Structure 1
Amino acid sequence: MEIKILCQSCGIPLDNEAIKGVEINGLKSEEFCKFCYHQGAFTNPNLKLSEMQENVETLMKKLDLPDDAIQQTINILPNLNRWKAT
């Protein structure tokens, strides 16, 4: 079974360099995607976990992904580094 590295904010797989966010020094982030993180900071720093869950659910439904996959993703969000402290 392949272990996937996930964005520690939204849960998107970080399986290629193009999807990775950018640190302040210009290097690719190993922890966050480009949608959540840019230039060493969150793109939406005031976002709440509940809002992220709603955003992820909406996007995954638009992509016509199975309901069980959507629920599984929503369920892992609270365990990601960005949300553990909240």
Structure 2
Amino acid sequence: MENTHFCQSCGMPLTTEESKGTENNGLKNNDYCKYCYEDSQFKNPEMNLEEMGKVVKAHMEKKKLPNYMIQKALNVLPVLKRWKNKQFID
């Protein structure tokens, strides 16, 4: 069974090459998705963990995913590479 990699910013599964972000040289980045990372930088570099949580929640609610799945995704965010050791900011 193959391990699924997840974006280390938003938690989105990186199941295809097309879903991966890019480096300056056009190569795919295996840590971040195309919605979070492009040309070797975050698309929203000023975004904090709390804001990412709101974006993830809204996207998942739009897809009508169950609340338990949304909560699980939100619980994972703080341990992802981009947010590790950072706190929610009020």
TM-score interval (norm. to shorter): over 0.9
Cα-to-partner distance string for 1:54-85 (whole Å, 9 max, x where unaligned): 11001100000010000000000000000014
* Number of equivalenced pairs: 86
Which structure 2 segments of 5+ residues have no match?
A: none
Distance 1:62 1:54 in 2: 12
Aligned-pair CA distance for 1:3: 2.8
Which structure 1 segments of 5+ residues have no match?
A: none
Compare the two structures and name the one with the higher helix fraction: 1
For the 8 Å contact 2:12–2:33, the answer to whether it is kept is yes
When the two chains are superposed, the root-mean-square deviation of aligned CA atoms in Å is: 1.1
**TM-score (normalizing by structure 1):** 0.95
| Other-structure match for 1:15 | 15
**TM-score (normalizing by structure 2):** 0.91
Code of the aligned partner of 1:22: T
Aligned-pair CA distance for 1:4: 1.6
Greater than 3 Å deviation, 4+ residue runs: none
